[in-house]
Amino acid sequence: MKIDIKPYEEKMKKAVAHFEDELATVRVGKANAAVLDKVRVDYYGMPTPIRDIAQIKAIDARTLSIQPWDKSTLKPIEKAILASDVGITPQNDGSVIRLSFPQLTEERRKELSKQVVKMGEEAKVAVRNIRRDAMDKCKDMKKKSEMTEDEEKQSGNDIQKITDSYIKNIDVIVDKKKTEIMSI
């Protein structure tokens, strides 16, 4: 009896999806509301995402507009953005907060590329940890005589093939993001 690799493949798929979500928060010089996804505002004692308490829209290629539904949240939103690692100073005009994304310098591009590579490595580690769990399950099943040595090897090969495909996918995503960063 071979191991069911579907649950492990699903976990790998989720790890790559999480990686892609994390990459969306990397600021690449153009207005992107995803850079605010990690920012939490203290809203009546609860840490709340900005998108849940305000409308966020791109005014132009380099400017985001944040218009809260409750005007009393303007200051807390501004404080949360300043305290975050977004790296942009908000401009508050009393009813709307604007974020102007500056042009990236060569140094900042290299720094962002390194950050993307690091995030890619973390995603690869997550995929490899899932592979390790699957391999451990195979070894455990062999010990319990639930699978033969040949089935264990075949399952290990199948798991490795899936792992390799997800690792390759992560590399492609990293290269694409680095190219995007360097071309802006």
CATH of 6-24+105-183, one of 1.10.132.20, 1.10.10.10, 3.40.190.10, 1.10.510.10: 1.10.132.20
pLDDT in tens, 54-104: 888 888 878 888 898 888 888 888 888 888 877 778 888 888 888 887 777
What mean pLDDT is reported for the chain? 87
How is residue 107 annotated by DSSP? H
Q: Which CATH number fits domain 33-100: 3.40.50.720, 3.30.1360.40, 3.90.180.10, 1.10.10.10?
A: 3.30.1360.40
- The C-alpha angle with vertex 77 and arms to 34 and 115, in degrees rounded to 5, equals 35
Tens of pLDDT, residue by residue over 12-67, are 999 999 999 888 777 666 677 777 878 888 888 888 888 888 888 888 878 888 89
**3-class SS of residue 60:** strand
How far apart are alpha carbons 118 and 76 in whole angstroms? 31
